[in-house]
């Protein structure tokens, strides 16, 4: 028998009217992007929203290409031309140069990446400018520049290669490109780290006059500590002691020069507020309630959660694993709730539950709702281009260099 999330936890994850109000028109006090949506936003209760979205999309035809991230609401995904993770969507946008407008139903850093990878003539629109990402916001350009100074003072900057997760601002991607590093996704983090350690080795060798590999090549991993640690320890044989945590809110990151010199992975103290909520208790609890359940979690979860899970992988991996799962199999999924709900609906022959007891949407992803999408599309029909996301040419140049390095990974 298939059990729904609501039946399992007695929780109705549908947003309350208050949540809709907060997600609809108001600024989010916790987001640095806290920008109210300008213009005449249709009310969420408007019964004609679906029809209006259809009509506006039809009027724009091939001039618009709508991208929907996996964590978006169903009401938004319905209008997406393609769905995917942030990198797939940016590439999909780049493959549609004929589309004048790319409407990105996702968060700010994703729209920036789409702008970097699309042509100069294409405009990338984010339906709500307040759709930021708490993880990306945890590493600012100033903080990262300061960190690099700390590494320089410790004498290790020249053997450290930055690797930045896709979930970072264009500024951080540009920093990465400028310092010879690469971007990674949750699917290719291991390959990116292997490349970075090779690159670090090459730099060490050249700084020693080509005298071979020396111990001590390092990676500065930004901004998600969990993805960095999980990849290094689970997949590459590093120990937890090889990793140190750089806290940008403490002098010198809260680390001594010796700690930095001894470390192999310098992890930035950032995390995803959605995946960071899953705990060891969530895993133990679901195993007790559902005997035989397979626990499948995203690598942005804490190390103890990932260690206790049966399977670990990116959103694309999770989708494929459930597609391939046997009918009647039982799954507890540790990723964003919109996606888990959609997967449960798509596989009624399998028992798919959300890993945690509490509702766990990404609140900034959820800011893109049908009223904002309708508003953005109707604005385009009227000849106004709202909420354009533009990355300046200098930042774009270096950020693209880091993205290109990722594309060239073996
Ligand atoms: S799920 Fe986490 S990493 Fe993704 S946009 Fe939301 S806060 Fe950022």
Write the pLDDT tens digit of every residue in 358-386.
877 898 999 999 999 999 999 999 999 99
Ligand 1 atom nearest to CA at 272: 2
Report the distance separating Cα 271 and Cα 120, nearest Å.
32
Say if 136-272 and 275-354 have the same CATH topology: yes
pLDDT above 90 as % of the chain: 80
Q: Which residues of 185-205 are buried (b: 16+ CB within 10 A; e: fewer)?
A: bbbbbebbbbbbbebbbbbbb
pLDDT for the residue 43: 81
Average pLDDT over the chain, rounded to an integer: 88
Report the distance separating Cα 410 and Cα 398, nearest Å.
21
Report the distance separating Cα 355 and Cα 387, nearest Å.
35
Q: At what angle do helices 170-178 and 393-407 cross, to 10 degrees?
A: 70
Q: How far is the CA of 192 from the centre of ligand 1 (A)?
A: 21
pLDDT above 70 as % of the chain: 87
Write the pLDDT tens digit of every residue in 245-285.
999 999 999 999 999 999 999 999 999 999 999 999 999 99
Q: How far is the CA of 132 from the centre of ligand 1 (A)?
A: 8
CATH class of 275-354: alpha beta
Counting Cα atoms < 13 Å in the Cβ hemisphere of 42 gives 23
Residue 410 pLDDT level (bands cut at 50, 70, 90): confident
Report the distance separating Cα 316 and Cα 337, nearest Å.
15
- Non-local (6+) Cβ contacts of 86 within 8 A are 69, 106, 109, 110, 113, 166, 167, 185
CB 129 within 8 Å of CB 35: yes
Q: How far is the CA of 133 from the centre of ligand 1 (A)?
A: 5
Ligand 1 atom nearest to CA at 133: 8
Q: How far is the CA of 214 from the centre of ligand 1 (A)?
A: 37
Q: Token digits for 321?
A: 């694993």
The residue whose CA is least distant from atom 8 of ligand 1 is: 133
pLDDT for the residue 330: 98
Cβ of 72 below 6 Å from ligand 1: no
Report the distance separating Cα 305 and Cα 283, nearest Å.
7
pLDDT for the residue 120: 93
Write the pLDDT tens digit of every residue in 10-59.
333 333 333 333 444 444 444 434 334 445 788 888 889 999 999 999 99
Q: Which residues pair with residue 82 across a beta bridge? A: 67
* Average pLDDT of span 290-316: 97
Return the CATH fold of 136-272: Rossmann fold (3.40.50)
Return the CATH fold of 31-132+364-392: Rossmann fold (3.40.50)
Report the distance separating Cα 357 and Cα 11, nearest Å.
8
pLDDT for the residue 361: 86
Write the pLDDT tens digit of every residue in 194-249.
999 988 777 766 655 444 433 348 999 999 999 999 999 999 999 999 999 999 99
Q: How far is the CA of 347 from the centre of ligand 1 (A)?
A: 25
Cβ of 274 below 6 Å from ligand 1: yes
Say if residue 382 is exposed, middle or buried (CB neighbours under 10 Å; 0-12, 13-18, 19+).
exposed
Q: Report domain extents, the chain.
A: 31-132+364-392, 136-272, 275-354
Query: Who wins on pLDDT, 91 or 350?
Result: 350
pLDDT for the residue 379: 97
């Amino acid at each position: 028998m298939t059990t729904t999330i609501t039946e399992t936890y007695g929780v109705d994850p549908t947003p309350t009217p208050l949540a809709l109000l907060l997600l609809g028109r108001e600024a989010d006090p916790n987001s640095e992007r806290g920008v109210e949506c300008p213009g005449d936003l249709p009310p969420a209760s408007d019964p004609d929203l679906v029809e209006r979205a259809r009509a506006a999309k039809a009027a724009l035809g091939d001039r618009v290409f709508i991208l929907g991230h996996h964590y978006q609401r169903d009401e938004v995904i319905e209008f997406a031309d393609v769905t995917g993770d942030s990198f797939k969507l940016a590439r999909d946008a780049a493959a549609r140069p004929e589309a004048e407008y790319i409407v990105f139903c996702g968060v700010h850093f994703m729209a920036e990446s789409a702008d970097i990878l699309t042509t100069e003539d294409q405009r990338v629109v984010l339906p709500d400018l307040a759709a930021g990402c708490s993880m990306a916001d945890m590493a600012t350009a100033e903080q990262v520049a300061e960190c690099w100074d700390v590494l320089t003072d410790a004498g290790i900057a020249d053997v450290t290669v930055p690797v930045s997760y896709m979930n970072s601002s264009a500024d951080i991607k540009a920093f990465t490109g400028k310092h010879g590093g690469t971007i990674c996704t949750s699917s290719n983090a291991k390959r990116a780290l292997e490349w970075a350690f090779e690159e670090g080795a090459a730099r060490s060798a050249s700084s020693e006059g080509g005298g071979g590999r020396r111990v001590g090549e390092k990676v500065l991993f930004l901004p998600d500590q969990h993805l960095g640690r999980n990849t290094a320890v689970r997949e590459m044989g590093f120990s937890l002691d090889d990793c140190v945590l750089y806290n940008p809110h403490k002098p010198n990151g809260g680390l001594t020069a010796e700690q930095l010199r001894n470390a192999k992975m310098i992890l930035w103290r950032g995390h995803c507020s959605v995946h960071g909520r899953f705990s060891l208790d969530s895993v133990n609890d679901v195993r007790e309630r559902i005997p035989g359940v397979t626990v499948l979690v995203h690598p942005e979860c804490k190390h103890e959660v990932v260690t206790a899970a049966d399977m670990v992988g990116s959103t694309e991996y999770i989708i494929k694993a459930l597609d391939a799962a046997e009918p009647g199999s039982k799954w507890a999924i540790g990723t964003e709730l919109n996606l888990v709900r959609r997967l449960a609906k798509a596989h009624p022959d399998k028992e798919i539950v959300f890993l945690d007891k509490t509702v766990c949407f990404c609140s900034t992803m959820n800011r893109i709702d049908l009223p904002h999408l309708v508003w953005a599309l109707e604005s385009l029909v009227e000849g106004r281009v709202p909420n354009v996301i533009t990355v300046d040419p200098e930042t774009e140049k270096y950020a693209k260099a880091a993205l290109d390095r990722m594309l060239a990974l073996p």
